Amino acid sequence: MHRIAYQGEPGAFSEAAARQLDATAELHPCRAFEDVFDAVNAGRVHHGVLPIENSIGGSIHRNFDLLQLNDLPIVGETEVPVVHHLLALPGTTLSQVRRIYSHPQGLAQCERFLRTLVGVDIIASYDTAGSAKMIATEQLTDAAAIASARAGEVFGLDTLRPGIQDYEHNTTRFLVIGREPISDAPHDKTSILFTLPNEPGALFKALSAFALRGINLTKLESRPNPTRKWEYLFYMDLKASPADVVCARALAHLGEIAPTLRVLGSYASCAGPREAAPPSPLSAETLT
């Protein structure tokens, strides 16, 4: 049976992402993101699911760092609509709540609602669904959790306020890691990691390798390089596959500029195959 690891408790949005990938899979909840990588590396599961960015809260930086530290390719992605509910023990009213727990991303995505509360401590925890579990297990009558409706069902909590996220179309993008393909869909997206020399125009030159060939960049993220003070690692998502000649040439071009370049994975995007790019001013065939 297909086995998928995710971070959090049952009812976490990561669990929803795993079920979206394979509704029949055997799911393995993990305490931390590091544990998801460990489970895949050890062969206890076939794939791991990791949140990488949210449309409100932004990037989950820890997972960018873990991708760099581990030699596990990205083999897929999925997106999950995120609807947050304020959950509490049955019989608890909003006026009784003095503490609200959730993952930092959950708190960030509900900032507007939280600002309306007076005399309430906002406390970050390791997981949205884990916060709901804690309230149920410890029978906290003065506390609430921000989590999914499913987390409320799993742990027997009532919804004090539904849909408290700041924006209606709140969505989290998840990456799938593993040593096996997750599907046979054509690859149309690639994630890479590279470094650049600390000199004027280096990033411009790197980006031009793709701009001149009409390749769309859907994500660019910088993270501190832990081995070199005030220098950075760059993570980039391309709407293309290295199997395409144009993309292969762009990566070769970048390799001439970047001291280090690593392809983190090529996979099918959530949006499906890309549309053909408009012709660039310079013919791609001439750019070698």
Residues known to be catalytic: 172, 174
Place of tokens 């998928």: 4
What does residue 115 show for φ and ψ, rounded to 5 degrees? -70, -15
φ, ψ for residue 283, nearest 5 deg: -60, 130
Q: Are 174 and 14 in contact (CB under 8 A)?
A: yes
Written as six digits, the tokens of 76 are 């897929």
Whether 128 contacts 82, CB under 8 Å = no
β-strand partners of 161:
86
Q: What is the CA radius of gyration of the chain?
A: 21
Q: Which residues, 6 or more positions from 46, have their beta carbon under 8 angstroms from its beta carbon?
A: 2, 3, 4, 40, 178, 180
Give the number of other CB atoms < 10 A from CB of residue 119: 7
Which residues lie below 8 Å from residue 35, measured CB to CB, with a gap of 6+? 5, 7
- Number of separate helices (H) and strands (E) present in the chain: 9, 15
